[in-house]
Amino acid sequence: MIQLLDNYLEGRWQTGTGSGTPLFDPVLGTELVRVSGAGLDLAAGFAFARTRGGAALRALTYGERSAQLARIAEVLQGQRDAYYDIALRNSGTTRNDSAVDIDGALYTLTQYARWGAKLGSARCLADGAPVKLGKDGSFQSAHFLTPQRGLALFINAFNFPAWGLWEKAAPALLSGVPVVVKPATATAWLTQRMVADVIAAGVLPEGALAIVCGRSEGLIEALQPFDLVSFTGSADTARTISSHDVVLRHAIRMNAETDSLNSALLGPDAAPGSEAFALMVKEVAREMTVKAGQKCTAIRRVLVPQAHAAAATEAIAAALAAVKVGNPRNESVRMGSLASRAQLAAVRDSLAALTSEASIAWAGRSADLVDADPAIGAFVMPHLLKVDDGDAAQRVHEVEAFGPVATVVPYRDVDHAYALARRGCGSLVASAYSDDPAFLAQAALELGHAHGRLHFVTPAVGKTHTGHGNVMPMSLHGGPGRAGGGEELGGLRALAFYHQRSAVQAPADVLAKLAESAAPWPGETG
C-alpha cells in the first residue's frame, strides 16, 4: 500500500482528498509515496499561521528564536540517515550530492543560530545611528527594522528539498515570521519528513511551521496584506505569481530565484598547463556533474580565450570522461540521475534547442551507464557543447538545460568576454580563473551589475575556495534580471526581507528609548 503523505496546517496533520500525485524513484522507476493537498482549507490554515504562529514567535527575542534554530538543526542531525535514504530513493543522487542538500541545510541553520544569538534580547533592528533633522538636534531620524506580521510562503524547486526549505526558514523564523512551505511535488517527500520531525520534536510554537504538498492552486489567493512570498523555480512560474491579482493588489513582497545562464571565465593569462587553467577545468567538470547539473548555480557557459578553446574543450572532456554515471547505490558511481522523467524530457528538449546552433564536443555514452537501465531511469549523460561564434549564438545565452550540460564559448579579448557573460541578462554567479589580481579586480567592476555573486579563483586558493556553485550562507544568493532579481542569505542581511524598514522621526530621547530594544543591523555575520 503506497503511503499518502499528510500536510501540516492549522496545527494538525491533515490528509488531502483524492488518490494524490505519485512520487517516483528516478533510477528504478518505482512509485514511492503520494502527495495531495486537495481539499485543505488554506484560508483557515494561513490565518492560524499568522495569528497563532506569528504572535508566539514575536513574543520571543532574536536570541530565543536563534536557540530554536539550533534545536531544529539538532533534531535534523539526529535523523540524517533517514534523509539520505529518502534522497537516494526520490532524487537519484549519490551520497556526496545528497550532502550538498542535507548537510548544506544543517550548516545554514547552524550559522543563522550562531548569528542570531548575537542579537540577544533585542526585538527590532537598528539600521544606522540617528541623524539630526533640526538645527539644535532635538528632533532626529533613525531607521529601524521591525518583524513582519504576515506569513512567509515558500514555493520551492525540486532540486533542493532540504536546503531549499531551511535556507529560507532560518532567517524567517529568526525574524519571528511563521513559515508555510509548498515543496516541489517531484521531491516533496524529504521536505515533508523534515517538517514532520521538527513538529514531532515540539521545537517551535504552534503555527510557526506548516507544509502543503502537491498543490499550487489557491496558495496565492490565500495571501493577505503583509504576507511574503519566496519563490524558487522557473522564470515562467515566477511571472505567473508576481502578476497575480492578489500579489499586485496587496503589493505582496516577493523574492524570486529563477533560471540562470551562469558562466565560468578563463583569464587571458591562464594558458594550458597553468594552474589557473587546471582549476577552471576541474571546476567546470565538477559543476556539470554535481547533482547531475541540477543546480541553479551550475556553470552553463564556459568563456575561454579563442587561442585556448580547443585545449580547454579537450581537457574538460577528459575530466568528464572519468565520471562514472549510473545507479547511486553502486559505490563507483559519481553522478546519479535527474530528479524525474519530466526533467529528463525537459533536458532533452533544451539539448535539442542548444544543439541547433552548438555542436557536441563530447558526450557520455548511455552504454556506459552503471547498474541502470536508460529506458527506465531519468539519466542524461554529460554533454559538453561548443560554439565558434559566441556573438551569433542565441540559445547558448538563453536556454538553461537543467542537467549536465555546458557550452564552451571562445572570446577575442576581455571586453568581449564580459559582453558574452552579460548575454545571460542577469545571472546568479560568474566565476573567473586567473593568476592576475588586476584582471580579477577589473572583472568585478565589469560583471558586478549583472551578477549576484562573483567567485574568483587564483592558484593561491586552489584548495580552499568554496566552489563556483556552492551557496554559502555568508554570501548573497540571487541575481538580477533573468535570475529573478531576488536576494537571499548573505548573513543577517537576509533578515531585511522579513522585516519592515521604517524611518522613525522623533525627539532624541524617544529614539534613545527605542534603541534599548534594538540590535545593530546587519552586525557581525562572520
Please give the grid coordinates belonging to residue 150. 504576515
**Cβ-based nearer residue to ligand NAP, 100 or 142:** 100
Which residue in the block uniquely carries the three cell numbers 526520490?
A: 90
Between 239 and 513, whose beta carbon lies closer to ligand NAP? 239
CA distance 433 to 306: 16
Check binding of 241 to ligand NAP (CB under 6 A).
Answer: yes
Strand partners, 5: 35
Give the full edge-to-edge strand order of the sheet including 518-520.
499-507, 139-147, 124-132, 518-520
Q: Is 159 an interacting residue with respect to ligand NAP (CB under 6 A)? A: yes
Residue of 296, 400, 487, 488 with catalytic role: 296
Q: Does 5 bind ligand NAP (CB under 6 A)?
A: no
Member of 77, 240, 242, 475 binding ligand NAP (CB under 6 A): 240
Count of chain residues binding ligand NAP (CB under 6 A): 25
Catalytic residue among 10, 167, 213, 257: 257
Residue 487 lies near ligand NAP (rule: CB under 6 A): no
Q: What minimum distance in Å lies between the beta carbon of 216 and ligand NAP?
A: 3
Please identify, using beta-carbon distances, which residue of 141 and 240 lies nearer to ligand NAP.
Answer: 240
Angle at 102 between CA 99 and CA 105, to 5 degrees: 120
Q: Round to whole Å and give the CA distance between 351 and 327.
A: 22
Q: Rule CB under 6 A: choose which of 77, 96, 146, 216 binds ligand NAP.
A: 216
CB closer to ligand NAP out of 342 and 506 = 342
> In this structure, what DSSP letter does residue 15 have?
P
Which residue type sits at 43? A
Sequence-ordered list of residues with C-beta below 8 angstroms from that of 150, at least 6 positions apart, any chain: 50, 54, 177, 223, 224, 225, 226, 227, 228
Exactly one of 26, 45, 150, 233 binds ligand NAP (CB under 6 A); that residue is: 233
Question: Which CB, 421 or 519, lies closer to ligand NAP?
Answer: 421
Q: How far apart are CA 382 and CA 316, in angstroms?
A: 11
Q: What element of type H or E holds 309?
A: helix 309-321
Q: Is 126 in contact with 79 (CB distance < 8 Å)?
A: no
Amino acid in the structure at residue 263: S
Return the closest-CA partner of residue 212 out of 24, 30, 43, 31: 43
Of the CA atoms within 13 Å of residue 29, those in its CB half-sphere come to 9
Rounded least distance, CB 135 to ligand NAP, Å: 49
Q: Which position among 125, 157, 351, 405 is part of the footprint of ligand NAP (CB under 6 A)? A: 157
Q: How far is CA 107 from CA 104, 132, 167, 260, in A?
A: 5, 42, 9, 24
Please report the beta strands in 120-260, taking only residues with DSSP state E, as ranges in sequence order.
124-132, 139-147, 152-155, 179-182, 209-211, 228-232, 253-257
Task: Pick the binder of ligand NAP from 126, 153, 184, 190 (CB under 6 A).
Answer: 184
Give the one residue of 90, 91, 94, 232 binding ligand NAP; rule: CB under 6 A.
232
Q: Is 425 considered catalytic here?
A: no
- Give least dist CB 20 to ligand NAP, A: 12
Contact call for residue 210 and ligand NAP (CB under 6 A): no
Is residue 242 involved in binding ligand NAP (CB under 6 A)? no
Contact flag: residue 402 with ligand NAP (CB under 6 A): yes
Count of CB atoms situated within 10 Å of the CB of 19 = 11
To ligand NAP, the closest distance from the beta carbon of 182 in angstroms equals 6
We find the least distance from the C-beta atom of residue 215 to ligand NAP, in angstroms, to be: 7
Q: 257 catalytic, yes or no?
A: yes
In the set 146, 237, 470, 500, which binds ligand NAP (CB under 6 A)?
Answer: 237
Q: Is 525 in the site for ligand NAP (CB under 6 A)?
A: no
Site string for ligand NAP, 341-380 (x = CB under 6 A): ----------------------------------------
Q: Is 158 in the site for ligand NAP (CB under 6 A)?
A: yes
Closest residue to ligand NAP, Cβ-based? 233
Rounded CA-CA distance 385/363 in Å is 8
Check residue 296 for interaction with ligand NAP (CB under 6 A): yes
| Helices of type H across 150-274 | 163-175, 188-200, 235-242, 245-249
Q: Cα-flanking dihedrals φ and ψ of residue 106, to 5°?
A: -65, -40
Q: In the complex, which residues of this chain contact ligand NAP (CB under 6 A)?
A: 155-159, 182, 184-185, 216, 219, 232-234, 237, 240-241, 257-260, 296, 400, 402, 428, 484
Which active-site residues does the annotation give? Answer: 257, 296
